[in-house]
Structures are given as C-alpha cells and as structure tokens.
Structure 1
Amino acid sequence: MTAAAAGGLRAGGVHAAARITAVADGRGGTALPLLAGAGPFALRRTRATGRGAQVTVIGAMSAPLGGDRLELSAEVGAGAELTVTSAAATISLPGTSGEPATYDVRLGVGQDAALRWLPEQLIAAAGSDLRMTTRVELAAGARLVYRDEQVLGRAGERPGRLTTRLTVHHAGEPLLDQELSFGPGVPGWDGPAVLHRYRAVGQLLVVSPHFAHEPPAAAILAVDPDSGQAVSAPLAGPAVLVTAVAPDALCLRRLLDAAMRTLLPNGDGSGAHHPKTAAAERVSVAR
C-alpha cells in the first residue's frame, strides 16, 4: 500500500483528513460542494428528510490506532442544514508505535444554519490511548444538536485510555469548554466522584435561538439508576447540556434519545418545550 493510498501512511501511523462543506442551494435546499475523505474516512451523501443534506462517515480502515493523526471538519454555510452520522462505532485500538492517537474535529455553523452531529459511539478498547478534541464555532442564530457517546472497553474487556475536550463558541463568545479523561493512569476515574461502576458516558448539547427566551429548567432525567443517570442543565447562552452515565452503550443511547425527544419535539431543533413543561417532564427510561 502506498502512502497516498493510505491517506498519508507513515511509520508513526496514518495521517488523514476529511472535509465536508454544506451551503444553501438557493432553492430552499442544501448542496454539498465539498465532500473529501482520505485514509479511514469514506464520506457518502445519504438520504435526508426535509431541505437539509445528510452525510454518513464510513470507516474505510481500522482507526484510530496508536500513532494515528486524524482530522475531520464540517462547515455549514448560512441558511444551510446538515446532518452528519456514522455507519458504525469508532473503536480506538492500540498501535505498534506506543504513541497515543489524536483525532481532531472542527465544526462551523453559519448564520441561521443548522448542524446535527450524530455519530455512533467512540469505544476505547483495551490498551488504546486516544486524545480527541472537538471545537465548534457557531454564528449568531445558528442551531446545533451535538451528541457524544464514549464507551470504555468492549464487552468483557478492560478500558483503554481516553481524553476528550469539547470547546464551543457562540457568536464569538465561549459557551462550553470541558475536558474528560478516563482509563488507566487517570487518577480516580472509576471512583465514586467520577464514573464509579458505569462504563459509558455521553452528552447531548442543543443550541437554539429559542432557548435565549425560554430555556428549560435544570432537571434530573433518569428514573432508574441501574440503567444510568442523566441530568439536563441550561448553559449561560441559548443552549442546554444533557450529561449521562450508564452501564453500557445501549442504556446510554436510551437516555440520550429520551432527552432529545424532550428537548426537540419537532425533531430538528427548530422548537423546544416551554420551560415549565420541560421542567415538569421526566424521561422514562426503557427497562
């Protein structure tokens, strides 16, 4: 295999980048003038509902492995709507170099544009070490639905090490900046102050102009601690953050799906429950 075929294969791992650009097509829809993938990233336009476009990220090779350097960016122009999904979970695996892998995601959403970022889970397999950073830049009036799910180890397996940082700016101002770190070598990550007995953690960030005037109240969402726990909290901006922990990926997805139905009754982020309604409602988690 040549370096070009691998998207930048080097002794220390694969170096590859993928880019997505979505723009309003002038006819009430969304066009994709740039859809470029390399290495482990195969990008496919898939069927979408409404006037937006949808792109599915398909893994073309095992990644990230130790030493890999991966980048994925998506830019949504003013008035456009884009949904990004993935065909399968991303599994972080150990490599032969002994180096950590890095995965950098950059997302930009323009004025009156919308991005739904809904990939499958990120799984930290035993022996792996992944450093992932996500930076989101939102213009005024932009809408965002961002789901992030992390699973520590495959079934019956010890977890790998995983560090993620999410930074979000809205209209040039900081909205959210947080870092999570789990796995071998991280002090206290499996203690009662952090994950304790849970091995799946996720969050759902919803940004909508609607929340500037009618933010939902903070709420405890989960009703069965054995199936996980979740809380919803408004941020200092037009946004709500749901944080959840669960024993496995299935329970985690149920928690976040239920939270999404509560926050997005229209399914696209264009509306939200009245704050009194959202405060009174509690999510029922399937047992």
Structure 2
Amino acid sequence: MDGVRVNDVSATAGIVACDDGRGGTALPVLESDGPLALRRTRASGSEAHVMLVGAMSGPHGGDRLAVRAEVRRGARLRVGSAAATIALPGQIKGEARYDVRLDVADGGELHWLPEQLISAGGSELYVTTRVDLAGTARLVLREEQVLGRVGEQPGRLTSRLTVRIDGRVLLDQELACGPDAPGGWDGPAVLAGHRAVGQLVIVRPEFAVEPVAARMMGEQAVLVPLAGPGALVTAVAADALRLRQVLDGVLAELD
C-alpha cells in the first residue's frame, strides 16, 4: 500500500460518550474517517470501550490526522488502539501531524491508553495532545514513544502534551527527538541512550487534598505530583516491551 500512495491524507475521527441514564455509557457519536477507524468493543460495567484501528499504514509525511473525544457528565470511556502507530516517510517529503483533543466534563472519566508510537527512520511527525478537564473529571492518559524500528535510526519526532483543568494549565511539556532535534535529547539529562520513553498522567480530585509523594519507581521511572489534582509518571526503557512493563507496574501500584 505504501507504494501506491500519492496524495497526503487528512482525516478526523470523533467520539462522544454520555451517561445513558441506566448506569452505563452511551456512544451517540462514533465517527471514523479515512485511516482512522473506530470500533466499539465489549464494555466493562458502566465504562464504554472503544478501539482505534488503523485502516492503512502511516501517518506518512504530509498527512494531517486528528482524533477528538468528548466525555460528558457522568460518562466513563476507555480508548485503546489495536496496534502501534508507525510514523513513516512520505513520497513527498514533509512533516506529518497527529492531533488529539480530549474533553472531559464534571463527573466524567477517561482512560486514554493507545499503543506505542514508533518513529521510523526518515519520518517527520509532530504530535499534539490537548486535554481539557472540568474540576471533578478523572483521567488516566498513557503516551509511549519508540525511537526507530529494530536496527534503524529514528525519524524526527516532536510531541507536545497539554492538560488543563477548568482552563488552568496543569501540565504543558514538549519533547523533540531524532535528527535536527535540539542538542542533548539523547544525553544523560533526557533519554540517556534509551530507545523508548513514556509517561502516565493521572488526574483524580482526591489528589488535590492528598497529593502523591515524589519518588523513584524502580530504576527507570519517576513519579511527581503536579500543581493540582494530578500526578505525572515519566519512564525510559531499552524497548517498547520493557517500557510497558514499567508503566503498567506503576499504574497498578497507584490503583
């Protein structure tokens, strides 16, 4: 399929989750678009489950992909993906963009747990994730990035994550890796030679009263409280498998 693609792809997929009035969560909007296919899967209790399935390879250079998710008052939504996303070079050289916008109302809960993003050699990708939460919303968000496939150098990957609560910034950070990225990204202060990096953002109203204590979580992860009802876990690892094990272990401990 890569050999026949000529045009850049623009696509936006959308999800809306709402309380169904019977103790569960309804999905009045589940809109797939282009390579972004959304599938509802078996629910768990009051929580609706959605899987993001890539209908073609990419994103490639020049593509513009976006996902929007809205969780309304009292709804609970868990979103995952069927496979890793691989950023690939396009036939026409240029940066691809992948934009995620998440909104959670008061009393809503979102678990955003996609599979890894792999930055293949020669690719250029700018990822933005913006989360807007109401004051009593709950969030678990996982990001995992792998620099290059086995035996190859990574492409250029820039990722920005912003989380706001009632319009106030809880977290705003950006990481750039790969060719032409600012110096030091692979040094001891950032990745220290590791090929996989990930983070968990956990927002719970009770953290405003009893914040988590900053501490190392093993040798490869650190947990820090945020200035508000949230916590941030950052981890590095040699590969995607080890990174997932580290993050899963931290999340299980916090639960």
TM-score bracket for this pair, using the shorter chain length: over 0.9
Q: Which residue of 2 aligns with 1:43?
A: 38
Q: Which residue of 2 aligns with 1:241?
A: 232
Normalising by structure 1, we get a TM-score of 0.85
Q: Which residue of 2 aligns with 1:254?
A: 245
Q: Secondary structure at the match of 2:111?
A: strand
Q: Which residue of 2 aligns with 1:182?
A: 177
Indicate which of 147, 150, 158 corresponds to 1:155.
150
Indicate which of 122, 143, 159 corresponds to 1:164.
159
Q: Which residue of 1 aligns with 2:200?
A: 204
Are 1:138 and 2:133 matched, yes or no? yes
Q: Secondary structure at the match of 2:140?
A: strand
Pairs aligned (count): 251
- The answer (yes or no) to whether the contact 2:104–2:133 under 8 Å persists in 1 is yes
Q: Secondary structure at the match of 1:47?
A: strand
Q: Which residue of 2 aligns with 1:71?
A: 66
- The answer (yes or no) to whether the contact 2:6–2:91 under 8 Å persists in 1 is no
Q: How much has 1:48 moved relative to structure 2?
A: 2.1
Q: Secondary structure at the match of 1:256?
A: helix
Deviations 1:42-92 (A, max 9, x none): 100001211010100001011200000001000000000000000000000
Q: How much has 1:253 moved relative to structure 2?
A: 0.4
Q: Which residue of 2 aligns with 1:85?
A: 80
Higher relative strand content: 2
Q: Which residue of 1 aligns with 2:13?
A: 18
Deviations 1:141-164 (A, max 9, x none): 000000000000011111111000
Indicate which of 70, 87, 105 corresponds to 1:110.
105
Partner AA of 1:241 in structure 2 = L
Normalising by structure 2, we get a TM-score of 0.96
Deviations 1:155-175 (A, max 9, x none): 111111100000110122110
Moved over 6 A (4+): none
Instruction: Structure 1: give runs of 5+ residues left out of the alignment.
Output: 1-8, 224-228, 265-287
Are 1:231 and 2:245 matched, yes or no? no
- The answer (yes or no) to whether the contact 2:95–2:126 under 8 Å persists in 1 is yes
Partner AA of 1:14 in structure 2 = V
Instruction: Structure 2: give runs of 5+ residues left out of the alignment.
Output: none
Deviations 1:88-121 (A, max 9, x none): 0000000011111000100000001000000000
Q: Structure 1 CA distance, aligned partners of 2:30 and 2:171?
A: 28
Q: Secondary structure at the match of 1:48?
A: strand
Q: Which residue of 1 aligns with 2:215?
A: 219
